[in-house]
Amino acid sequence: MKKYIHKKAVFAAVTILGIIGCTEFTEKIEDFNIGVTNAIFEQTATLELTDVHGNQQDIIDTDFTVVFSGADADKLVSEAGEFAITENDGFIQLSVNPNKSVGVKELNFDVTVSGGSYKTATYAVKIADTISKVTLPMLNEAKTLGLERKSNSTSLTNDATTSIVTMETSKEKSLTSTKISIPVGTKFMDANGAAVTGSNLTTNIKNIGPFGLVLDTEIDLEHMEVFDQNSNKITNKTLSLIGYTTIDISLDGKKITKSTTPVTVSIGVENNIYNLETGATFKIGDSYPIYKNDQTTNNWTFYQNGTVVKDNTNGMLRIEFTTTEMVRFGAGALTAKTANKSLANDCTSSNQTKDDQTFLRGGFGGSSVIAPGGNGTVTFGGVFSPSAQVTFTLTGESVSSATLAKTQNDGINPQVTQFLQRVTQFLQTLNITEFKDAVQLQVTKHVGSSTVSEDVEKEDICAGVDAVNAAAASIPDIKIDVSANCNDKTLVPDGIVLYVEKDDQTFKNVGTIKNGKLTLKGFELNKEYTFKIMYQGQSYVNKWTFDSATFKIENFNIPASVCNKLGF
């Protein structure tokens, strides 16, 4: 039976217009101070898009398209109860259609987000609470360190190349580059080995260098399955990649997976990148393993050894090999696995919170020290060699926002970049996004040719946790009680997502008002804050100053269109 929306169940400022199947309101509002006796939407969620480089303004300036699919996608509507769901300033507000789902349940769906220079990403989302908040990190490829692409279009005659096709990615943002050379007379085949005919050959190569591995989302370094040349699974070692190359070729739009003649592929490396097989930096004549990946699984299989040669064009060293397969290739070596550590027992601070314990229990490998930081950053530093290190900085208040800075001295070790990716993925899976003061996590790894030594000082870890909690304790929680004016009538809002403006003029989600009430954490007294709500793609702003830890607000802004719709 279809539900009708009663005026007593109105969510002030949201969810009132365009409710599914609602053609009339069946009750009049007589009470001046209306209370919410029944919620239209028992389950809501907010999806937040975050820029992994920390440039949240880029998110705001981009028009994103969102597409929902999967098991429970048909149960989702916007905050206004409409089927069309859009993104607004990096936020996607969802409600669960009461005509298709009653009560609070676990719902699973996929959301695909695309727009601008951001990499199209599909996320599996689960919501199981009355109010859910989910962060979706988005990668701006135009600003990603360690990632370069190159495209080329070539005309064929009689389905074959008539000249050498050579192309190379730029090194502007990466420590490595990819160069391929397709010989004259080369023809192409599909996955079944059948000849592919056509006249327009399109070649795309993607190069991911050491730092690109930290942020790249196409492969999962933490859960790689590695196999030797005989397809035997390797379980006692880790594949540490310098980077990888993806070769995608199509002929008149038909996918190519093989060539009739070998294509020369080379991965250019700086002479300060370590050869993990020798324990020294690369030199001409070195042999280095090449692994292949079919782009559909997380399996990496030894393919052949490449040879380090000198590029006579630019003097760069290149790991060179030939192939007739158009897949993904990674240059890397097998290294000893680093045991994960659980740090939970290292800290028994009396004021340690549950979230702090979860943070420490994460069990990511390598040495780690937590110390108080500042300026809204979380920093990861990794020693690549005795005098070279990388600093990985998470900027702002969300651990999923990140910027990568690098310093190059005498060597880059791919084991460390791989470790940084693991830490990043770990943090992004946690719901720890609001440290009152920023936390600085300094990661130190001393790396030899194939081993990693670790050193952790538990006192430093506990001191960091204490510092975070002490800072949090100095700022009181503010309990707000919100009511709203609607043409001289008072409404109590329910189900409204509230956002606050940050120092960089972007907004963050600070919670959902339920029955007119919300507890705000980390706000100072006697300081003016700019808040907003969003409804049907429009923003409505109010400025509030809290003069006590209990704050009653009676002038919450309700859009005039909502008041008019209700007949006030």
pLDDT in tens, 407-457: 333 344 444 444 444 444 444 443 333 333 333 333 333 233 322 323 333
Contact 257, 327 (CB under 8 A): yes
**Between the CA of residue 376 and those of 319, 399, 401, 403, 504, what are the distances in Å?**
40, 10, 11, 12, 11
In this prediction, residue 214 carries a pLDDT of: 62
**Between the CA of residue 291 and those of 7, 150, 224, 234, 334, what are the distances in Å?**
63, 21, 12, 13, 11
3-state secondary structure of 3: coil
Tracing tokens 């539900």 back to the chain, one arrives at 3
Tracing tokens 């409804």 back to the chain, one arrives at 535
In this prediction, residue 487 carries a pLDDT of: 67
CA distance 159 to 115: 35
In this prediction, residue 53 carries a pLDDT of: 65
| pLDDT tens, position by position, 2-17 | 333 233 333 333 332 2
Mark 406-431 as b/e (b = at least 16 C-beta within 10 Å).
beeeebbbbbbbbbbbbbbbebbeee
**Interior angle at CA 159, CA 154 and CA 163, nearest 5:** 45
3-state secondary structure of 155: strand
Does the reported pTM lie above 0.85?
no
CA dihedral 214, 216, 219, 221 (to 10 degrees): 0
In this prediction, residue 50 carries a pLDDT of: 82
In this prediction, residue 281 carries a pLDDT of: 78
> pLDDT below 50 — which residues of the chain?
1-39, 338-472
3-state secondary structure of 163: coil
Q: Where are the domains of the chain?
A: 144-336, 351-429+442-453
In this prediction, residue 68 carries a pLDDT of: 95
In this prediction, residue 133 carries a pLDDT of: 82
User: Would you put residue 140 in left (φ > 0), alpha (ψ -120 to 50) or beta?
Assistant: beta
Token code pair at residue 523: 């706000």
Written as one letter, the residue type at 95 is: S
**Between the CA of residue 110 and those of 76, 116, 252, 513, what are the distances in Å?**
11, 20, 32, 26
In this prediction, residue 51 carries a pLDDT of: 79
